[in-house]
A and B are shown apart, each in its own frame.
Chain A
Amino acid sequence: MVTREDPGRPGSRGMWLRWSLRDLRQRWAAVVAIALVMAIGIGVYAGLGSTATWRTLSNDASFAELGMHDLRATLSPGTFAEEGSLAAAAAGIAGAEQITTARERLIVDSQIDASSPGRPVLTAARLVGMDMGARPVVDGLWLREGAMPVVGAPVPQAVLEGAFAEHWGLPARGRVTLAGGRVIDYTGVGAISEDLFYEGPEGSVFSTGELAPVYLPLAAAQAIAGRPGQVNDLVVRVGAGADRDAVQAELTEALAGLGVGATVSTREEAYAVRVLYEDIDNDQLFWNALAGLILAAAALAAFNLISRIVESQRREIGIGMALGVPRRTLALRPMLIGLQVALLGTLAGIVVGVLVGRAMLDLLESFLPLPVYRTPFQLGAYGRAAVLGLAIPLVASAIPVWRAVRAEPITAIRTGHLVARASRLTDWTGRLRLPGSSLTLMPLRNVLRTPRRTILTAVSVGAAITALVAVMGMLDSFGRTIDRAGAELAKGDADRVLVQLDTFRPIDSPAIAAIRDAPAVGEIDPGLRLPATALAGDGGEDLDLLLGLIDFEGAAWTPTIVDSAGAPGAGIVLAAKAATDLGVRPGDTITVRHPVRRDDGTFALADSRIAVSGVHANPLRAFAYMDLAQAGLFGLAGATNILDAYPAAGAGPADLQREVFTREGVTMSQAVGRISEGFDAALEQFTGFLVIAAVAVLALALLIAFNASRISVEERRREHATMRAFGIPVRTIMGVAVREGVLVGLLATAVGVGAGVVFLDWMLDSLARTTVPDVGIARHVAPTTLGIAAAVGVVAVAAAPLFLVRRIRRMDIPDTLRVME
């Protein structure tokens, strides 16, 4: 009878525990290795799973810290009101008691020259005049670095938006020039809540670096803008429990009463709020998919490795059965191995999770700086990971243990040649007459002899390679997309400079002539760039387009047409992604909603049916092109708002940019060669996170490959001893082991790369469609990725035996040969 009081008796729990601890001492390396595999799996799962909550909490805290407005009243473009009148209107509404704070601002467009020697920085700017010292805060300024501006300083002082400064590598303090030659000092870098994530100027490709928000004391902004005593913006906070909708309606009515056109929008309509919160869910889809894949790979590897350990106890289990020990008692010892792996893996997994989370946080803080980051330990995410971490090794142990204790004792305790078993496949392959010496054949024969073991090893290594290929393939695909976009824009002439004008100007106007005649300008191609919308119809999603009108016949740069129906200039040329999303092909017709300039100079929106004349090579969905000859459709015949400018002989794009910046009507100039930097920045979030995932997966893959291979070599020790008894040199034995590793590795790599490509396709087809809808990301697996996959799958698996060369060299041959299996 088994009792707790007598731990020394066979069958007592104490004995099994001690035996298990001895197992642990004997197999600590294998247990630690499997635990590390699990740790990476559950650590990545927990770490990636934490970021969504962190981001939500951090967004909430940051917007709260900066006093993000509840309502914002924006006057129509070009409309201004007397300072105090907007606040007074707000104070005069029926629900005024619900408003806790209201602040007036002046927001005007400008340009900025923040150039340093050899590095032109000439972009659009947005001056935000605000009450910087006011309390309580509404849309307050977060000063990331430097000092607050001094009101009334001889040279006006400001704070420059931090992401812009970072993009261009500007210092935390400096002097810049605004439109009209107004010099200001910026005393620090920071942002207001609305600019924690902001759009670029209309017509621009990317926000980062193309628009410089500049925050100034209200009076300074009024002076610089030539609008003394005027404002055009009001931000309002309402109290807890206030009826915000009612306040919004009353405020709209009150402002209309002032005789100014105004739009009152809510906090949720702000671009920063929309993007920062929407992105969380979209991004999390990616991380969940990746974490799931990595965890699955780890689970499979753990199953393989634990199975092999349990298998090695088969005979001892059989002896126990022969002695009449109950099966559940016999199962205890191998199950304790699973428990050891589970506990160790879970503990290490929490550490890995914290490290992954730390790396993710560092990345988040760098690409998305927020004033407050809230990163509490995510008990839920770690709890789920811990449950998985405990469950997977136990399940992985239970299956082989179940198989082992179900065997007949007489079968289980067999030794020597009586143990030998093989599959039908092996029997069949015996008929094959394979060329080569027995040593040459041995690796292939070994692989074929135990197909289940071979497949399990290949699949577990392959699963890690799948994750590797999927993650790195994603990076490759993003990289290729960036390169394609950059190459398309820079096609033919990387010195091309895009010159954005402040408004639509006649092509033959003096302002355009002045630009054309600038000494550094060799040639210009006038064009138009307009916002438009492709209407999907049938409940589909409308697509925002950045419609460029260019001279298809005469312009130096035209898009590369990859598919067409007739002359490209006869209709609209869409990005392949746009055509796919709209479900159209060249020759089809789509409805485009676009601005039309009326006779009085104002714009109206019109819907036009336009034939799709072609598909261009740029992966960015928004880019669409029509011929400049069709400008009449927009009421803009003979007008231009963007120029393709080419430097004169002897001049460079920097010279051209500097010269045109001072010309009338120019708001921004950018060399297309630099635009790829914008692409990089736009995809930085994904690539950065993917690099973290790739590092984790690489470590996982190497660990799995090495361990699987190490166990295989361990299982072959008797054969190695036999070979040594016949005088086979150790290097030859290692050669056999390495070749066997190569075969398994090739299989694992083929499985891994194949499944990785399938998984990558799935991620790009389903997840990227939601997460990065504006970019047509084509699957690309770079040779480097395939090389790394092969290195992990083949080289690591094949090379693992080499780490055991010392053990084989020092092997006690008679002892090993005498060992009973």
Chain B
Amino acid sequence: MDERGATVAVDARVGHAGTRIDLDDVTRRYRVGDVDVTAIEGVNLHVDEASFVVILGPSGCGKTTLLNMIGALDAPTSGSVVVGGVDLTHATQAARAAVRRTTVSFIFQTFNLFPGLTAYENVKFGADAARRPGAGERAAQALARVGLGERLRHFPHQLSGGEQQRVAIARALATGNPILLADEPTGELDFRTGVQILEVLEEQARAGMTVLVVTHNREIARVADRVIELSSGRIVADGPPPGGRARIADLQW
């Protein structure tokens, strides 16, 4: 990846309040057919500084549910969720939308790029959504940041999977929002491309963002500042990676 020297302007609120995440005794239950399913139970989680956090666990352990609540896409059944200083526990739809617009940004496993927009326009969408001034410039910078400065006018179908995910990251970066939420960002990608994506994400954490990555891949957790392990909706481990933080270059899967 080239052009990493370029920086993307991050929202002025990045800092203690802007990146802070507080979950207290959070429980989330769903009703599936006739059955009540507890996806998350009694979770307490606090992220108070910019860092690279990995939420680890097997399928169905509740990690995506947790990410959705942090991302203001879902609300807890009980407990409280405060993100970037905004209490989302009983927030209205509009208030949640405002948090998604200005505080968090998403990277999805299946990218979810807009197929009708070019790479540049997809990224610009992020800046437009967050109502950032100079959206075009931010988009160009973000694409350059992820090494796609030469592919501005390409549509998603003209890009490889890795390139599409990088466009998705650039879109998230262009929002300028301080919290980056990534749900299995390497799930659709081969090892080499996945590593490139992790490098970009790690770099954002170093640049002052809070990056939360949800994954079932233990290898990825090795490069995190902090690993939160979930099992059956509960946090079973929370701390630095066992054996210390590894370099991305050392990863294997």
Residues on A close to B: CB < 8 A?
Answer: 415-418, 420-422, 426-427, 430-431, 437-439, 441-442, 445-446, 448-449, 718-719, 721-729, 809, 813-814, 817-818, 820
Contact = CB atoms under 8 A, between A and B. Distances in A.
13 contacts: A417-B161, A417-B164, A417-B188, A420-B115, A438-B117, A438-B124, A439-B125, A442-B116, A442-B117, A449-B115, A726-B126, A726-B129, A727-B130
Interface stretch (B55-63, B101-109, B203-211): B101-109
Contacts of A449: 115-116, 155
B151 to A, nearest CB: 10
Given A416-B110, A417-B110, A725-B73, A814 B64 contact: yes
B125 A427 contact: no
B156 interface: yes
A820 B187 CA distance: 13
Interface in B26-54: none
A3 B122 CA distance: 52
B105 A814 contact: no
Interface string B122-150: 10111011100001000000000000000
Contacts of A719: 112, 114-115
Contacts of B97: 724, 727-729
A445 B97 CA distance: 25
A280 to B, nearest CB: 54
A438 B73 contact: no
A523 to B, nearest CB: 74
B211 to A, nearest CB: 17
Given A726-B126, A726-B175, A417 B98 contact: no
Given A416-B110, A430-B153, A722-B114, 20 more contacts: A416-B188, A417-B113, A417-B156, A417-B164, A422-B155, A426-B116, A430-B155, A437-B128, A439-B125, A442-B116, A446-B116, A448-B116, A449-B155, A722-B112, A726-B106, A726-B126, A727-B101, A727-B130, A728-B129, A813-B73
A718 B161 CA distance: 18
Contacts of B105: 726
Contacts of B93: 809
A438 B125 contact: yes
B73 A442 contact: no
B68 A445 contact: no
Given A415-B110, A726-B101, A727-B102, A814 B124 contact: no
A422 B114 CA distance: 12
Contacts of A809: 93
B249 interface: no
B239 to A, nearest CB: 28
Contacts of A420: 115, 155-157
B115 A814 contact: no
A814 B156 contact: no
A86 B95 CA distance: 100
Given A421-B157, A438-B125, A726 B110 contact: no
Q: Most B CB atoms within 10 A — which of A422, A438, A449? A: A438
B94 A418 contact: no
Interface string B75-91: 00000000000000000
Nearest to A732: B129
Given A438-B121, A449-B115, A820-B110, A723 B64 contact: no
A722 B93 CA distance: 16
A809 B175 CA distance: 23
A727 B73 contact: no
A437 B130 CA distance: 12
A794 B234 CA distance: 53
Nearest to A809: B93
Given A438-B121, A441-B117, A724-B97, A814 B74 contact: yes
B117 to A, nearest CB: 5
Interface in B153-185: 153-158, 161, 164, 175
Contacts of B100: 724-727
B245 to A, nearest CB: 30
B101 A728 contact: yes
A5 B34 CA distance: 33
Contacts of A439: 125, 128-129
A727 B102 CA distance: 8
B186 interface: no
A445 B75 CA distance: 34
Nearest to A448: B116
B230 interface: no
A417 B153 contact: no
Contacts of B227: none
B122 A438 contact: yes
A422 B117 CA distance: 11
Closest 5 CB pairs of A and B: A727-B101, A727-B100, A445-B116, A438-B125, A420-B157
B155 A426 contact: yes
A446 B115 CA distance: 8
A345 to B, nearest CB: 33
A817 B183 CA distance: 11
B140 to A, nearest CB: 12
Contacts of B102: 727
Given A448-B116, A813-B73, A418 B161 contact: yes
A718 B154 contact: no
Contact of B94 (A421, A729, A813, A814): A729
Contacts of A718: 112
B19 interface: no
Contact of A430 (B73, B110, B118): B118
Contacts of A427: 155, 158
Q: Most A CB atoms within 10 A — which of B68, B117, B130? A: B117
B14 interface: no
Contacts of A448: 116
A725 B125 CA distance: 12
B116 A727 contact: no
Contacts of B129: 439, 723, 726-728
A785 to B, nearest CB: 34
Contacts of A729: 94, 97
A640 B72 CA distance: 93
A727 B121 contact: no
B125 A726 contact: yes
B18 interface: no
Contacts of A438: 114, 117, 121-122, 124-125, 128, 135
A718 B114 CA distance: 9
B64 A422 contact: no
B71 interface: yes
B99 interface: yes
A728 to B, nearest CB: 5
A432 B157 CA distance: 17
A335 to B, nearest CB: 29
Interface in B205-249: none
